[in-house]
Amino acid sequence: MTDKADWLTRVIERALDVVFAKYPARTGLGVVFGGVLSFLARVFQPSLRNMEAINISDAPLWGWLAIGILVMHAPTIIALFKQKPIGNDIVDQALDLIERGNFTQAEKRQQYRNLITQVSSSIALRAETQKDVTAVEHALQKTDRN
């Protein structure tokens, strides 16, 4: 049960991150689009009441807003299911550009190698920086003790 709950929590966290942090313009446009849908449902309420299969005219505002946000984020949602993200937006974008670029197979391999080299040098730099920070912290702790 905890594995399923952890997975669900990660999915919900990722979804909220996409909706509110990564693409705020899409979220804003989704809210506006949902509001417009709600308005149109109210305007055409007399003719919509004749529909027997579904009662659209009585849908609450938050339902229309949720539909608007989902519609505006549909490209992002589809992209999330199509690709396997690395976890770093810059690396994900670089991989996407390499895939969409008009490269031969040899050029793609070279681009992947260049990307791997850049990412690994960045990681090495972070490790060296972390060592420097740790050394400074130890020096400060020794100074505080004296």
What is the count of structural domains for the chain? 2
Alpha helices in the chain (DSSP H): 2-16, 24-43, 45-48, 61-72, 74-82, 89-100, 105-145
CA nearest 116: which of 143, 98, 102? 98
Confidence of residue 93 (pLDDT cuts 50, 70, 90): confident
| Domain end among 31, 66, 82 | 82
Q: Are residues 136 and 98 in the same domain?
A: yes
The pLDDT, as a whole number, for residue 145 is: 66
Q: Are residues 67 and 92 in the same domain?
A: no
Domain carrying residue 118: 86-146
Q: Are residues 3 and 63 in the same domain?
A: yes
| Domain end among 57, 82, 107 | 82
The pLDDT, as a whole number, for residue 33 is: 94
